[in-house]
């Protein structure tokens, strides 16, 4: 399989002994980790192009496509995270980490549920699109413009393609447009562990967007207890900004291969290796890093 050859070529680059015995500085570890992150994103990309032609001769049906879309989104976001990692721009990495965790965790949750859960997931995405339909019905002048007509036509086309009408969303309205009535915190706690939430996704997901703490972390420098100046630089990046993200990623790709009956042993072992190597890099960094 072509995709297996891609994954094999990626893994052949790495020598665990080299990391544990030779890399003894934070700078060398960060540089080496950057290549590992890039290659890991390529492995995830390749996995989404694997298919079982007996199960899916033409592609994936609406029962699988929502999950596949999340997995493609995850590796695309990871590639962008790595790009900013290479630029040593932790601030912009933070903007991408939140949707990356959302995609990986939600995909894992969907693969643990029923077909009805996937229908609910698809319907929940129509909340604001239905507001657009109501806006036109309420006589908003925007929908007399070309832009408004194009937007409205796009919404109607999507609804029609899925066989939905504006009257098919009573369950979602009752659950406040949350997946099975659950917040992302609830879903995260089921898929991962609630203790991880605050120190990972929670810090990126504060109640007030553009929060004061984000400004303190990235955009201001403290002169004294009551005075600040602008901080016009980007915060440098290191292993701590990416390695924890991979903690959420490998699992949904494993579950996907199992779901589509393409659980090739070598690919599953590659995902296991990514987990081990990622942990080893972090442990080596932790032992080497001096505050």
Question: Which tens digits make up the pLDDT trace of 126-169?
Answer: 999 999 999 988 889 999 999 999 999 999 999 999 999 999 99
Place of tokens 């081990």: 276
Burial 168-206 (b: 16+ CB within 10 A, else e): ebeebeeeebebeeeebeebbeebbeeebbeebbebbbe
Residue 152 CA to residue 235 CA, distance in Å, equals 42
pLDDT over 70 at 21, yes or no: no
- How many CB atoms are located within 10 Å of the residue 91 CB? 17
Residue 210 CA to residue 185 CA, distance in Å, equals 20
Place of tokens 């080497």: 288
Residue 71 CA to residue 14 CA, distance in Å, equals 25
Question: Among 120-124, 270-274, 282-286, which is the least confidently predicted range?
Answer: 282-286
Residue 129 CA to residue 247 CA, distance in Å, equals 33
Strands 220-224 and 227-230: antiparallel
Place of tokens 């990622």: 278
76 by DSSP, 3-state: which? helix
Give the global pTM. 0.89
Q: What pLDDT digit, counting tens, does each position of 199-237 carry?
A: 788 766 666 677 888 888 888 999 998 899 999 988 888
Domain borders along the chain are 2-126+169-204+236-288, 208-235
């Amino acid at each position: 399989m072509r995709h297996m050859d891609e994954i094999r070529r990626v893994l052949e680059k790495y020598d665990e002994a080299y990391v544990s015995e030779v890399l003894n500085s934070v700078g060398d570890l960060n540089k080496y980790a950057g290549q590992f992150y890039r290659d890991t994103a390529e492995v995830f990309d390749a996995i989404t192009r694997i298919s079982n032609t007996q199960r899916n001769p033409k592609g994936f049906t609406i029962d699988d496509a929502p999950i596949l879309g999340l997995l493609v989104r995850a590796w695309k976001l990871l590639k962008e995270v790595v790009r900013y990692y290479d630029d040593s721009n932790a601030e912009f990495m933070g903007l991408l980490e939140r949707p990356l965790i959302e995609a990986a965790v939600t995909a894992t949750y969907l693969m643990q549920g029923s077909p009805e859960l996937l229908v609910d997931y698809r319907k929940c995405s129509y909340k604001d699109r239905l507001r657009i339909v109501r806006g036109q019905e309420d006589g908003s002048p925007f929908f007399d413009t070309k832009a408004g007509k194009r937007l409205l036509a796009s919404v109607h086309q999507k609804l029609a393609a899925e066989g939905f009408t504006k009257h098919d969303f009573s369950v979602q309205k009752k659950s406040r447009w949350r997946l099975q009535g659950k917040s992302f915190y609830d879903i995260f706690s089921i898929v991962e562990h609630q203790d991880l939430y605050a120190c990972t996704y929670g810090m990126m997901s504060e109640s007030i967007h553009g929060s004061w703490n984000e400004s303190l972390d990235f955009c201001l420098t403290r002169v004294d207890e009551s005075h600040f100046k602008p901080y016009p630089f980007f915060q440098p990046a290191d292993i701590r900004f990416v390695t924890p993200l991979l903690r959420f990623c490998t699992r949904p790709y494993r579950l996907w291969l199992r779901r589509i009956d393409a659980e090739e042993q070598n690919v599953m072992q590659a995902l296991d290796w990514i987990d081990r190597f990622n942990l080893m890099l972090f442990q080596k960094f932790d032992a080497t890093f001096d505050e």
